[in-house]
């Protein structure tokens, strides 16, 4: 009789155990899944339903995203692409803006050679396009990194 | 006898506890959470069933979870690990996001916020840019009109407002996709 009851006890645990595991998975996503939001020109990586701020990326400041998404290999690979492209992209785009300012300034001077503002404008455009491209690559890699991180939460 | 009573109590408590946990799981899992049904064949062990549920969940995420990327100022909505393009949007262009995330109420609310802010931001930002250009042209042509600085300032203000709203719309888009992915069957 006692064996029967023990078997019943174990059987009940196994039978009703499934949905409880699913709850833990849901809780994990609700509490830990990341997303990217923008605020006043900054990018913020927030966590969970409450939107807890875990990282801020702005201008020439960034954060170690690879460390943040460390449990997931795919996410880390994408985070490394982000780290590789973000700061160079920011600096090159910043240099492009400064060059554009110089071009506008040079064009205001009457006795300056016309090739100088033209050259500066072309250089500024090139820098902005290249820097913008690097930044776009970085942001897309960040989006993929967060996607993979959230995907691997459920494992 | 004491052992039997003890075992009977233990079994009852265990069944009750498991049943309550199960009910709680189903009530808190949300509308779109699909509890994986038990297999029809009773000879399939339950532990592999849980593994199957997790695997199905990962497969579902791999195949259906959305994210967005940008390309030359346009938004591209991408599905799954393979990166299938399911929608594009941008200034004044509708991504049909509401249809994509319709299965999740929270995602749908954020999708509406995205579309509202994106449209307003695009419209006001564009009007601001046009106003600024008109102001700059008037100033460059040495116009002494007092309207020129007002046009530039007003235009820049409208552009800032527009960019802020477009920015807010991207945050709403991010939240919409987050909720949609969250509510995928798991």
Q: Does A87 touch chain B (CB under 8 A)?
A: no
Name A62's Cβ contacts closer than 8 Å, sequence gap at least 6.
A83, A86, A87
CB contact under 8 A, B29 and A26: yes
Task: State percent of chain B over pLDDT 90.
Answer: 38
Interface test with B, best of A14, A33, A38 (most B CBs within 10 A): A38
pLDDT at res. B86? 92
Coil, strand or helix at B74: strand
Residues of B in contact with A144 (CB under 8 A): 67, 69
Q: What are the tens digits of pLDDT across the range B95-110? A: 788 899 999 999 999 9
Complex ipTM more than 0.90, yes or no: no
A79 phi, psi to nearest 5 deg: -65, -35
Inform me whether the pLDDT recorded for B28 exceeds 80: no
Q: What are the tens digits of pLDDT across the range A18-68? A: 333 333 334 588 888 999 998 877 889 999 998 999 999 988 888 899 999
- Between chain A and chain B, the number of residue pairs with CB atoms below 8 A apart is 133
Map tokens 């262009």 to a residue.
Answer: B93
Helix axes B46-64, A115-152, angle to 10 degrees: 160
Of B33, B44, B30, give the one whose Cα is nearest residue A14: B44
The string of DSSP letters for A35-67 reads: EEEEETTEEEEEETTTTEEEEEEBTTB---HHH
Tokens representing residue B43 in the block: 């000879």
pLDDT at res. B110? 94
Find the residue in A nearest to B57 (Cα). A154
Q: Which of B15, B33, B50 sits opposite A26 (nearest CB)?
A: B33
* B144 band by pLDDT with thresholds 50, 70 and 90: low
* pTM of the predicted protein model: 0.70
Strand partners, B85: B78
Residues of A in contact with B59 (CB under 8 A): none
CB contact under 8 A, B25 and A139: no
Distance of alpha carbon B18 from alpha carbon A8, whole angstroms: 12
Q: What are the tens digits of pLDDT across the range A97-112? A: 999 999 988 887 888 8
């Amino acid at each position: 009789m006692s064996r029967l009851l023990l078997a019943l006890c174990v059987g009940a645990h196994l039978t009703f155990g499934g949905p409880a595991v699913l709850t833990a998975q849901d809780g994990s996503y609700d509490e830990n899944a990341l997303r990217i939001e923008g605020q006043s020109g900054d990018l913020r990586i927030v966590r969970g339903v409450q939107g807890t701020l875990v990282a801020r990326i702005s201008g020439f400041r960034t954060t170690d995203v690879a460390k943040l998404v460390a449990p997931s290999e795919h996410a880390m690979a994408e985070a490394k692409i982000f780290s590789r492209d973000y700061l160079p992209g920011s600096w090159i785009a910043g240099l492009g803006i400064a060059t554009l300012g110089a071009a506008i300034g040079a064009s205001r001077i009457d006795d300056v050679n016309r090739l100088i503002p033209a050259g500066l404008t072309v250089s500024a455009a090139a820098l902005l396009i290249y820097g913008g491209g690097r930044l776009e690559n970085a942001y897309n890699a960040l989006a993929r990194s967060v996607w993979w991180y959230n995907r691997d939460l459920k494992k | 006898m004491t052992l039997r009573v003890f075992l009977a109590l233990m079994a009852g408590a265990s069944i009750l506890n498991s049943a309550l946990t199960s009910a709680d799981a189903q009530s808190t899992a949300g509308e779109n959470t699909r509890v994986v049904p038990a297999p029809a064949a009773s000879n399939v062990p339950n532990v592999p069933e849980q593994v199957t549920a997790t695997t199905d969940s990962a497969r579902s995420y791999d195949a259906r979870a959305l994210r967005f990327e940008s390309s030359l100022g346009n938004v591209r909505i991408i599905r799954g690990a393979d990166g299938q393009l399911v929608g594009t949007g941008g200034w004044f262009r509708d991504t049909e996001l509401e249809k994509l995330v319709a299965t999740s109420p929270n995602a749908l609310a954020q999708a509406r916020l995205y579309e509202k802010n994106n449209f307003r931001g695009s419209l006001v930002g564009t009007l601001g840019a046009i106003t600024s250009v008109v102001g700059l042209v008037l100033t460059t042509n040495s116009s002494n009109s007092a309207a020129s600085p007002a046009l530039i300032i007003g235009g820049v203000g409208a552009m800032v407002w527009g960019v802020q709203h477009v920015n807010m719309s991207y945050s709403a888009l991010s939240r919409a996709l987050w909720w949609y992915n969250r509510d995928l069957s798991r």
